Structure 1
Amino acid sequence: MVDDGDTTGEDAGRLVGAGRVLAILAELARHPDGVTLEEMARAAASPKPTVHRALASLARFGFATRNGRGHYVLGDEFLRLAFAHHEARPDHVRVGPVLHSLAERYGETAHYAILDGATVVYRSKADPPLGAVKLTSTVGGRNPAHCTAVGKMLLSHALPDDAVVAAWAGGRSLERRTGNTVTTARALAAELRATRERGYAIDDQENEPGIVCVAVPAFLTSPTVPSGAVSVSAPAYRTSLSRLVEQVPAIRAMVAEHETPR
């Protein structure tokens, strides 16, 4: 019979069976540089033979191993499972909580979008609380990348220099959505260059008259390549672009809480 870690009767207040093994696994994760058996026993407040048996169980399934210095570390199988699960989680589900937090904090609409060729696709959206003016954007909807904050943010990563931007823009027509829309390869290259330098993108009524927006990259599935971008959009009469730009550090920090560790 497998001990499931039930703490009743004489076992109350102490971990047994699977519960003990999981506690040792959690403690092991706190020591990325490795830990000796003696150190683990002290940290877990358990006898060395007990800790050794738990580590042996973890090692049997590849969840723990000993490095060249004889210290115990998380095993490759545990890391493989953790990263496989992390990569498989839908990014729009993972980013949902931060969008709702942004919408509630600023009283404006928050989006998460991905780049698809020359357009962006909105994967998730959170509207402000009831009673505030809401935007007409929809999940699954598309907009040109060159005139949206999320699009310019993602293009700045996908098109790393002016030459690549020129090659990308030279073969397509950049639609003019408003009087502020960038429509030439040269102007787009300058805008993407500025976006890379400051680390965020802006939309100053370039996609829709009267709507301003800021966007930051979201590294949800990779620590180096953005899976998409998160934006906060607002009617300019209510929240100015300068006000949104002031909030970029706070927006970036909120998004970072949900990103892949670097």
Structure 2
Amino acid sequence: MDHTQTFDGPKAPGGKKIESTVETSTTPADKGLVGSDRVLAVLKELARHPDGVGLEELTRVIASPKPTVHRALQSLRRAGLADQDARGRYLLGDEFLRMAFAHHEARPEHVRVRPALEALAERFNETVHYAVLDGHEVVYRAKVDPPTGAVRLTSTVGGRNPAHATGVGKLLLANELATLADVEAWTGGDPLERRTPQTHCTAAALHQEFQATRERGYAVDDQENETGVNCIALPVYATSATAPSGAVSVSALTYRTPLHVLTDAYDEIRSLLGPLGTPIA
């Protein structure tokens, strides 16, 4: 059992007192996250609340005692990575945002790929993504919405999706997992998430998909990640002459742009990618 003493601390903007605590013992829940792991968990949770989040909710989600979560917040505030508004709610700090945007803008592949994304979005009037593989997920590094008219997708830069359920993920996995044994090792025998009735969730089904992807030079997402949305994905060679650094996808609502329209435009999409879409033999 924790015994906690509360006392008045410094004041936040607007005159609201910041609660300070002294922790005298540790609960079993506290042992799950310690030190820097807890600080990082708090930082990641703050990113999910652009309007701010209270200490009570953070404590519940992080599953650590209030004093330890509060100390993690104070560490982040001292570094400028978190802030507290006039309501006493916590949110990401300006320094974190500055670092994140500066790092994102400096990525060489982001800078090089952007013109091609803009050209594709304008040509097809659909959303275009650039994504990279990170383990069992894809991470969206860039996104360009259509300039006018079309419905925009809810995907975000920095967002993630299961690799096996996306066109970009299957394109990149096809480059890495050449055999059925490779695919089975990647899945680890664990069941894969079924995002829609169309999602391929077995090693055998994915191996077949990867073979088809390698043969035709592109991958497809036939409503496998989200019902009503399909896409075509092509490799991008932004940082290597032989291995894809990531993949570009043209994503569309199925009622407006059926999958066959995208696949029929494969040659045009590859042309718009220019040198980025062609490996050097």
Shared fold, TM over 0.5:
yes
Structure 1: which 4+ aligned runs deviate by more than 4 Å? none
State the one-letter code of the partner of 2:166: T
**Residue range with higher mean Cα deviation, 164-173 or 216-225:** 164-173
TM-score (norm 1): 0.64
Residue in structure 2 matched with residue 194 of structure 1 by the alignment: 212
Secondary structure of 1:152's counterpart equals: helix
Structure 2 residue aligned with 1:245 = 263
For each residue in 1:156-185, what CA deviation from the matched residue of structure 2 results, as whole angstroms up to 9, or x when unmatched? Answer: 011122221121123433100001000111
Give yes or no for contact 1:221–1:260 (8 Å, CA) kept in 2. no
Paired residue for 2:155? 137
**Does the C-alpha gap of structure 1 residues 261 and 187 become closer, same or farther in structure 2, counting only changes over 3 Å?**
closer
1:126 is matched with 144
Q: Which runs of structure 2 are paired with 1:1-262 in the superposition (5 Å)? A: 90-258=108-276, 262=280
Paired-residue identity, %: 61
Change (3 A) 1:117 1:98: same
Partner-residue secondary structure (3-state), 1:113? strand
Residue aligning to 1:50: none
Larger strand proportion, structure 1 or 2?
A: 2
Quick one: distance in 2 between partners of 1:259 and 1:220?
Answer: 8
TM-score (norm 2): 0.60
Could you tell me how far 1:256 is from its partner in structure 2? 2.9
Q: Hey, what's the Cα distance between the residues in 1 that align with 2:277 and 2:254?
A: 29
Does structure 1 conserve the Cα–Cα contact (< 8 Å) formed by 2:270 and 2:277?
A: no
**Structure 1 residues 181 and 260: CA distance shift in structure 2, 3 A:** closer
| CA offset digits 1:198-221 (Å, max 9, x no partner) | 110000000000000000000111
Deviations 1:199-247 (A, max 9, x none): 1000000000000000000011111100000010000000000000001
Residue ranges of structure 2 left out of the alignment (5+ in a row)? 1-105
**Is the 1:222–1:260 Cα contact (8 Å) retained in structure 2?**
no
How large is the RMSD of aligned CA atoms in angstroms?
1.5
Give 1:144 shift. 0.3
Rounded Cα–Cα distance in structure 1 between residues aligned with 2:112 and 2:250: 17
For 2:151 and 2:279, locate their aligned partners in 1 and report how far apart those are by CA, in whole Å: 35
Q: Which amino acid aligns with 2:219?
A: A
How many angstroms does 1:131 deviate by?
2.4
Partners of 1:180 and 1:246 lie apart in 2 by: 21
Alignment partners' CA distance in 2, 1:259 and 1:208: 26
Residues of 1 paired with 2:181 and 2:217: CA distance? 20
Number of aligned residues: 175
Give, in whole Å, the separation in 2 of the partners of 1:125 and 1:92: 10
Deviation at 1:259, TM superposition (A): 5.5
Q: Is contact 2:125-2:148 (8 Å) kept?
A: no
Where in structure 1 are there 5+ consecutive unaligned residues? 1-87
Which amino acid counterpart does residue 182 of structure 1 have in structure 2?
A: H
Distance 1:139 1:253 in 2: 25
